[in-house]
Amino acid sequence: MVDLRTRAFKTGLETLYYTGAHRVMAALWQCSGAIFNLHHIAPSADGDQENRFNPNGILAITGTFLDEVIRYLVDEKFDLVSLGEAVARIKQGDTSSRFAAFSIDDGYKDNFDHAWPVFKKYDCPFTVFVTTDIIDGKACLWWLILEQAIRENDRIEIILENRLVGFDTSSIDAKKHCWDHIYWSLRGGNEIELRHTVAQLAQRYHIDTNALCRKLAMTWDDVRKLNQDDLVTIGAHTISHPSLKELSRLDVCYEMAESRDRITKEIDEKPAFFCYPYGDETTAGQREFSLAKEVGFEAAVTTRKGMIYPEHRDHLYALPRVSLNGSYQQIKYIDLYMSGAPFVLYNKFNKVNAA
């Protein structure tokens, strides 16, 4: 299902690109800039993606592609700015030049090892949004646990909707089918049940969840070293990376404020910006936007797709981002994104999607 959606979306993008329609739309829908969203940065491409089971591969790009993206932005005369500068421009309604800001979610070790050197090469600012349980090595990275269980076994049994369900996972296609079914079933359910189900799965298939997290995560020493670089901004991304819409108002405020306070204690600097876990329309909405403001953040970013327009000055807690996706590592897609055309169509010709 995911592969079919990706192919259909790529077909639509390429139609825009090769007809030149994106350039016409760019002239009509001139944006102020973009905030990019990344997760993992790999040192190099990892084999034949089409013939491997790698469902979370969409969250990773190579350092080489990141380098190409930054060079493209420089050539196209985008100002490379920090998130703080981007927010300042939005508040001021400054449209004198277009900007690009980069943000990386969660706090993985590869941000330190492979992204930081590329950003330093271009003197390009970036923000790392830290989930404190990830840095502590104890977060439930349930999407990676699920991937590992499916990848390492020829059959999977899991409790879904209070019943034990079995899946054949003996081939790549079977693994992809199993992933689609389980992943979207879990995402559509209750957050507490999701974590309980995945914990049972990990126990059944002997997956050390803390070891998995510790292997992938930065340490607090890494975070402190990053924070010493003037190019780097550290932001808050909750304690445990939950779907905030599933939580009570009190628990949302706790996840926001406690993560900010823990980061402040560790790096001796108070984060000004917040990033909603998952961050799409199903996991963060008006209540969460209001609470981020109430807790005291200066602005907050979502994963809602879109460019930045002057109108976002009234929606600083629902800022959209442009995902650098592992399935779209070609500069022609970045050219399309920066025209704004795909997002104009996706958002039905609305500049702001904050409902």
Q: Which pair of structure tokens corresponds to residue 152?
A: 């390492």
Residue 150 one-letter amino acid: I
Q: Which pair of structure tokens corresponds to residue 130?
A: 């830290």
**Cα 106 from Cα 238, distance rounded (Å):** 9
Intra-chain end-to-end CA distance of the chain, in Å: 28
Question: Residue 11: what pLDDT?
Answer: 76
pLDDT tens, N- to C-terminus, the chain (355 residues): 456 667 776 777 777 777 877 776 777 778 899 999 999 999 876 545 556 899 999 999 999 999 999 999 999 999 999 999 999 999 998 888 999 999 999 999 999 999 999 999 999 999 999 999 999 999 999 999 999 999 999 999 999 988 999 999 999 999 999 999 999 999 888 888 999 999 999 999 999 999 999 999 999 999 999 999 999 999 999 999 999 999 999 999 999 999 999 999 999 999 999 999 999 999 999 999 999 999 999 999 999 999 999 999 999 999 999 999 998 999 999 999 999 888 988 899 999 999 8
Report the alpha-carbon angle 2-280-138, nearest 5: 90
Q: Which pair of structure tokens corresponds to residue 156?
A: 């999977």
Question: 9 by DSSP, 3-state: which?
Answer: helix
Question: Residue 17: what pLDDT?
Answer: 75
Strand (E) or helix (H) holding 300:
strand 299-305
CA atoms 320, 321, 326, 327: torsion sign: positive
Contacts of 47 (CB under 8 A, 6+ apart): none
The pTM score is 0.93
CA atoms 311, 314, 320, 321: torsion sign: positive
Is the CB of residue 55 less than 8 Å from the CB of residue 2? yes
What residue ranges define each of the domains in the chain, with the CATH number in brackets? Answer: 2-136+219-346 (3.20.20.370), 142-210 (no CATH)
Question: Residue 46: what pLDDT?
Answer: 59
Question: Residue 267: what pLDDT?
Answer: 98
Is the CB of residue 71 less than 8 Å from the CB of residue 64? no
Question: Residue 51: what pLDDT?
Answer: 65
Q: Which pair of structure tokens corresponds to residue 109?
A: 């070790």
